[in-house]
Structure 1
Amino acid sequence: MSLTETAGRQGTADYHSPPPTSESWLALAAGLEDEVAQYFMVSARCGCFMQAARSLNARAASLRKQLAQLEARLQRSLFNFQGSALTLSREGQQLHAQLTVLANERRLPVVEQPCIRLAVAESLLHDILGRDLISLLRRNASIRLEIISLDSELALQTISADVVLWLATGDVPLPGPTFATTEPQHLAQLSYLPHIAKRYSRVTARPDSVDDLADFMLVQWQHDRQSEGFRPWNNLVEQRLAGVVKLQSYELMLDMIRCSACIGLLPAYMSRYDRSLVSLPGLFREPMQHRVWLAVNADSDEVADVQMIAQLIRNTFAERREWFEV
């Protein structure tokens, strides 16, 4: 069933006037609005209305309505559905060829999207921000985004980015980016606790003191060794003569805790992110904390996509504020 047949059932198409001749209906292509022509060409290229809408940063319902109105105007069926696949009809192929010729003649410039560089602490990217970034990309497939994972203080001080989201110990955002930024915004304070997988620890057998940890294997993400705020945990790991695993990968550390009966230091919100993990409070007297800071490059603060990314991050942390309450 074509789009016009679907629209006709809804009373939006009129077939009472005589159809244009073969020559005249193709001649109408020269007068098509740029937006309608783009909707048609991108839909033909993608073979999927949903993907075409994402690529154009448009609503799928609006795109389909525009194409249905185009079919009604031309009084030709431009698309066919073969199962779940979208293909061009014979008339659709003719229109596509005509629009291709017109586009070449006009030599319309390709609008280049600016590349937005987002630098974000690896743990925040994995635990908090990743899902919302995926949702953003599902809605807007035309954006150019480069994501830089910050896995060390050195990486933070050597990168250049439009938006930076990082962790720092203490009340000031140091160390921070070395380039000029807007005033850093404090988004959250994170507390850190040892965690273990629930399936490997009965309530009655969970450690109640640092000494009890001697019966468990410890796993450490090497990035945490650089943090002065994690000194109690780091000292414990360094004193270990056996039963310790040190990893460069944050995600692999999480897998070790989930699947290998290891205990590792994680943000206190982790049991909300992953219900299979449970925190072990009360083992250390000194609190272990980081603050989350957001800043935007001073040279790109006015760019719309940069503002969109920064606001997405603010909204994400605001929506998850309960995660950071201890």
Structure 2
Amino acid sequence: MAFIEPAGLQDTDNYRCREVQTESWLALAAGIEAEVAQYFMVSARCGCFMQAARSLNVRTTVLRKQLGQLEAQLQRSLFNFQGSNLTLSREGLQLHAQLIALAHERTLPLVEQPLIRLAVAESILHDILGRDLISLLRRNASVRLDIISLDSELALQAVSADVVLWLGAVDSPLPGPTFATDEPQHLARLDYFPHIAKRYSRVTSRPDSLDDLADFMLVHWQHDRQIDSFAPWNQLVEQRLAGVVQLQSYELMLEMIRCSACIGLLPGYISRFDRALIALPGLFREPMQRHAWLAVNADSRQQTEVQELAQLIRNTFHERRDWFEP
């Protein structure tokens, strides 16, 4: 008569078999490259491939490819999608626990990012560079960036930074940073005009002489009082006995021009940045100009991250070169 193994014993053997199989494929975890293991752990923590790629400063396609190769290597599916949520599969949870245990024996690499200090003229930061800096942060969530807003010549003289972008005189970058830099690079000429919001100024009623400005409120960014080339505008504001608002905030000045029927001095490119604003050229005979200059700290210019940031700024101005052409 054939021997029939008790059901309980069969279940125990099956459990032991599955346990041996699990231990067998998990043993491969020790051979996973540290970088790939980090990709897996960060993806598990973020629950989103896109956010994990940003944190690791890699392309999402590269991350997905590496994780796909890992699944093929282990012959296990490590992730599940529940709607738009990314979760670990049962095998993914097992691998996650195994890698945590291995971390006591093999520390996964954590690369400290160097701190990069960017000093930039406030108006340039707001109007021209801000969007590209946001794009940089979207691509690289691990970057360490210290952004210093320059709102005066005194701030420029006192600042210490790796990359400096400032507005200077027509024919010279001086006064510039006081620390040692490479040769300052000229990026663009900026022409300035009084501006008003289109919604408050029909073509037939727009001021075309200084006398016509008497019917409008003027807003004046205090920083502009220091600029010699803005003397015509500054003199007009100083002569006003009424209808003038002095502001310390560049953004608030822009908002008042947009929303309060005010007129303020802005760079000519601003209508490219905000199509609700329109320039009022021809009110002043003397041109009002500034020039954008870029310099890199001589002590840190060899750093890859510093070079990349400086190149990002150059690319930004090159891509928007039609903003500055007369």
The two structures have a TM-score, normalised by structure 1, of: 0.92
Instruction: Give 2:69's aligned residue.
Output: 69
Instruction: Give 2:280's aligned residue.
Output: 280
Structure 1 residues 231 and 20: alpha-carbon distance in aligned structure 2, compared to 1, 3 A threshold: farther
Structure 1 residues 162 and 55: alpha-carbon distance in aligned structure 2, compared to 1, 3 A threshold: same
Instruction: Give 1:136's aligned residue.
Output: 136
* CA deviation profile, 1:34-54 (whole Å, cap 9, x unmatched): 121111011011110011111
Q: Which moved more, 1:54-63 or 1:314-323?
A: 54-63
Aligned residues: 309
Instruction: Give 1:173's aligned residue.
Output: 173
Query: Matches of residues 173-322 of structure 1 in structure 2 within 5 Å?
Result: 173-322=173-322
* Contact map agreement 1:256 1:262 (CA 8 A) in 2: yes
Letter in 1 for 2:266: L
Structure 1 residues 20 and 171: alpha-carbon distance in aligned structure 2, compared to 1, 3 A threshold: farther
Shift of residue 62 of structure 1?
Answer: 2.0
RMSD, aligned CA: 1.5
Shift of residue 213 of structure 1?
Answer: 0.5
* Contact map agreement 1:19 1:75 (CA 8 A) in 2: no
When Rg is computed on C-alpha atoms for both structures, the one with the higher figure is 2
CA distance in 1: counterparts of 2:138 and 2:78, whole angstroms: 26
* Contact map agreement 1:162 1:297 (CA 8 A) in 2: yes
Instruction: Give 2:50's aligned residue.
Output: 50
* CA deviation profile, 1:221-264 (whole Å, cap 9, x unmatched): 11111111101001111111110111111111001000000000
Letter in 2 for 1:263: I
Q: Which moved more, 1:287-296 or 1:96-105?
A: 96-105
Secondary structure of 1:106's aligned partner = coil
* CA deviation profile, 1:249-306 (whole Å, cap 9, x unmatched): 1111001000000000000111111111110000001110001000000000000010
Is residue 2:101 matched to residue 1:101? Answer: yes
Sequence identity, in percent? 80
CA distance in 1: counterparts of 2:85 and 2:78, whole angstroms: 14
* CA deviation profile, 1:136-155 (whole Å, cap 9, x unmatched): 11112221111111111111
CA distance in 2: counterparts of 1:166 and 1:30, whole angstroms: 52
Secondary structure of 2:104's aligned partner = helix
* Contact map agreement 2:34 2:109 (CA 8 A) in 1: no
Is residue 2:86 matched to residue 1:86? Answer: yes
Instruction: Give 1:154's aligned residue.
Output: 154
CA distance in 2: counterparts of 1:278 and 1:156, whole angstroms: 30
CA distance in 2: counterparts of 1:170 and 1:272, whole angstroms: 22
* Contact map agreement 1:221 1:250 (CA 8 A) in 2: yes
CA distance in 2: counterparts of 1:19 and 1:105, whole angstroms: 23
Letter in 1 for 2:139: R
* Contact map agreement 1:20 1:74 (CA 8 A) in 2: no
Letter in 2 for 1:25: W
Secondary structure of 2:176's aligned partner = coil
Shift of residue 19 of structure 1?
Answer: 12
Shift of residue 109 of structure 1?
Answer: 5.2
Shift of residue 105 of structure 1?
Answer: 1.7
Structure 1 residues 232 and 20: alpha-carbon distance in aligned structure 2, compared to 1, 3 A threshold: farther
Structure 1 residues 103 and 36: alpha-carbon distance in aligned structure 2, compared to 1, 3 A threshold: same
Secondary structure of 1:132's aligned partner = helix
Unaligned runs of 5+ in 1: 1-17
Letter in 2 for 1:41: M
* CA deviation profile, 1:77-122 (whole Å, cap 9, x unmatched): 2111111111112221121111112122223553211000000000
Letter in 2 for 1:250: Y
* Contact map agreement 1:167 1:292 (CA 8 A) in 2: yes
CA distance in 1: counterparts of 2:20 and 2:91, whole angstroms: 12
* CA deviation profile, 1:174-211 (whole Å, cap 9, x unmatched): 11111000010000010100000011001111111111
CA distance in 1: counterparts of 2:89 and 2:33, whole angstroms: 21
Secondary structure of 1:236's aligned partner = helix
The two structures have a TM-score, normalised by structure 2, of: 0.92
Structure 1 residues 122 and 20: alpha-carbon distance in aligned structure 2, compared to 1, 3 A threshold: farther
Structure 1 residues 242 and 216: alpha-carbon distance in aligned structure 2, compared to 1, 3 A threshold: same
Instruction: Give 2:14's aligned residue.
Output: none
Instruction: Give 2:3's aligned residue.
Output: none
Q: Which moved more, 1:41-50 or 1:57-66?
A: 57-66
* Contact map agreement 2:182 2:295 (CA 8 A) in 1: yes
